[in-house]
Structure 1
Amino acid sequence: MCVAAVVAFFGVVVMQAGPASAGSRSWEYVALGDSYAAGVGAPPYDPAGGDCLRSPLNYAHVWAAEHPRVTLTDVTCSGAATDDVEAEQLSALSRRTKLVTLTIGGNDDSGFSRTLNACLGGTDAQCEAATQAGADYATNVLAGDLEALYTEVKQLAPRARVVVLNYPQLIDQGTGSCGAITPSSYRRGLIAGQIAALDAAISTATSQARVKLVDVRPDFVGHEACSADPWILGTNVASQTEWFHPNPAGHAAYGAALEAAIG
């Protein structure tokens, strides 16, 4: 099996929540980010979004459905990196925006796509090199880039609450099957180390930029890919673009975490 095209890990047409209830005044929520924000792993996807693979089950829609006064503008896109958010998504923001959510960083510098290609289809040495490069990039470059992006979001939407949701650990550290390709325990540990560095960079950036961080990692403990009760998809040959993304239960968990954090 060719693994090189396995993952475009993290992919602008607007999707909206239902209209505000009669007699109420709506307020604007803008969702930004990559495939974890877009809802990859929870089809069917909105045809209007094309390759962005936006799902009506993503956490922005899950949360907005519980808040009928909200008008949601969803510009998330599978494959997006930090530069893509800046170039293609920030135009959705304005002084009218009252809430912004964002999950981004996993695609930067080829990010986790490169790691999965190496760790699922390469040698131990290639997996080691990819995960170390990803962790180093997160620590030395990405944290600063994210801080700058969060700061720009605040400037463009000065009246908005800015909320960043991070990434869960993706793969159970046991020996359970992941599907078509199951990485060894050693490689799972390497992948976990890179994810930890990515989340540390996000934590540092949110603290420096003074925006709210919603840490979803505790919610996914015991529900990683390859576990007995996964909320993250494994390596199903029929849906390679969805590998190691949340399934509908995982996206619901993201929505619940957002609701618990901000009401």
Structure 2
Amino acid sequence: MRQSRTAAGASCLVLATALLTGLTGPATAQGTPRTATVGYVALGDSYSSGVGAGDYLPGRTECKRSSRAYPVLWAAAHHVESFAFPACNGARTKDVLSGQLDPLGPPTRLVSLTVGGSDAGFSSVMTICALGGTSRCLAAVDRARAIMDDSLPRDLDRLYSAIRDRAPGAHVVVLGYPHLYHLRGTCRTGLEDTARAAVDSAVDHLDTVIAKRSADHGFTFADVRSAFTGHEICSPSPWLHSVELLRITESYHPTAPGQSRGYLPALDRVS
């Protein structure tokens, strides 16, 4: 079993490296491959690039693209002939729009993406929640929810329209975000459950906004919350990192099992 897992991991690494450096060519300044259009294109933010999963690929190190990210695993499992992986840590809708769409075209058959969390400022929210106490955390969550109701729908519409214009025949799968916290769980320090519940509620709100905009554009929304149920932070078997002081960027991101057992099956079910 250990040998098969090693071989599988090596296969994913070889595939992703080859596709990133061979089929997709050199990266542009924005991290978008200069390439002819390809069959499967994985767009989006850190949840798609694989931050937190380890085994990061060569190239733009700040994007933290992982060989264990669900797009790479899906491409390997389905033996795709052409695959582009411009997803990048920290990407907002405007970053995907301006820097990740070059691989799309009429031949593209599948597009996957996660985007919206960075637009809503979840990184700042979690920093405030971790350091500022419950009242400041709740205020930060309220500000994030306001963004979700105000500018985010328009930004998603703009991005989704551009994706459809560039890849008119593609099946587009927009994946959501999981709850971060298991309430009344194993954590004995850190946020109070009031703050944890507010964060999870904000994730629900974000997923609702994304699902609505996705449906309006004829895209498929893949909900990952049920897959992560029982595997949130403060659960006995978490698939998400809590605060990682030595690898702060990986905080609040899926682990390798979160990618392979949470996100990958969600994409498989609808693709």
* TM interval, short-chain normalised: 0.7 to 0.9
1:97-246 counterparts in 2 under 5 A? 97-109=108-120, 111-177=121-187, 182-246=190-254
Q: 1:16 aligns with which of 15, 19, 22?
A: 19
- How far does residue 158 in structure 1 lie from its aligned partner after superposition? 1.0
- How far does residue 144 in structure 1 lie from its aligned partner after superposition? 2.6
Q: Which letter maps to 1:151?
A: S
Taking only the aligned residue pairs, the percentage that are identical comes to: 35
Higher RCO, 1 vs 2 (CA within 8 Å, ≥6 residues apart): 1
Q: What SS does the aligned partner of 2:60 have?
A: helix
CA distance in 2 between counterparts of 1:54 and 1:215 reads 22
In structure 2, the partner of 1:73 is: 84
Structure 2: any 5+ residue segments left out of the alignment?
1-15, 24-37
- How far does residue 91 in structure 1 lie from its aligned partner after superposition? 1.6
CA distance in 2 between counterparts of 1:35 and 1:15 reads 21
CA distance in 2 between counterparts of 1:90 and 1:137 reads 24
- How far does residue 236 in structure 1 lie from its aligned partner after superposition? 2.8
In structure 1, the partner of 2:72 is: 61
Q: Is the 8 A contact 2:233 2:241 kept in 1?
A: yes
Q: Which letter maps to 1:259?
A: D
In structure 1, the partner of 2:33 is: none
CA distance in 2 between counterparts of 1:70 and 1:126 reads 49
Q: 1:44 to 1:239 in 2, by over 3 A?
A: same
Q: 1:14 to 1:137 in 2, by over 3 A?
A: farther
Q: What SS does the aligned partner of 1:16 have?
A: helix
CA distance in 2 between counterparts of 1:149 and 1:34 reads 13
- How far does residue 152 in structure 1 lie from its aligned partner after superposition? 1.2
Off by >3 Å, runs of 4+ in structure 1: none
Q: Which letter maps to 1:103?
A: T
Q: What SS does the aligned partner of 1:90 have?
A: coil
Q: Is the 8 A contact 1:108 1:142 kept in 2?
A: yes
Q: What SS does the aligned partner of 1:85 have?
A: helix
CA distance in 2 between counterparts of 1:84 and 1:112 reads 16
Q: Is the 8 A contact 2:182 2:234 kept in 1?
A: yes
Structure 1: any 5+ residue segments left out of the alignment?
1-12, 21-26
Q: Is the 8 A contact 2:134 2:192 kept in 1?
A: no
Give CA-to-partner distance per residue, 1:59-86, whole Å, 9 cap, x none. 1111111111431100000010000001
Q: Is the 8 A contact 2:230 2:238 kept in 1?
A: yes
- How far does residue 206 in structure 1 lie from its aligned partner after superposition? 0.7
In structure 1, the partner of 2:265 is: 256
Query: TM-score scaled to structure 1, two decimals?
Result: 0.86
CA distance in 2 between counterparts of 1:15 and 1:88 reads 21
Query: TM-score scaled to structure 2, two decimals?
Result: 0.84
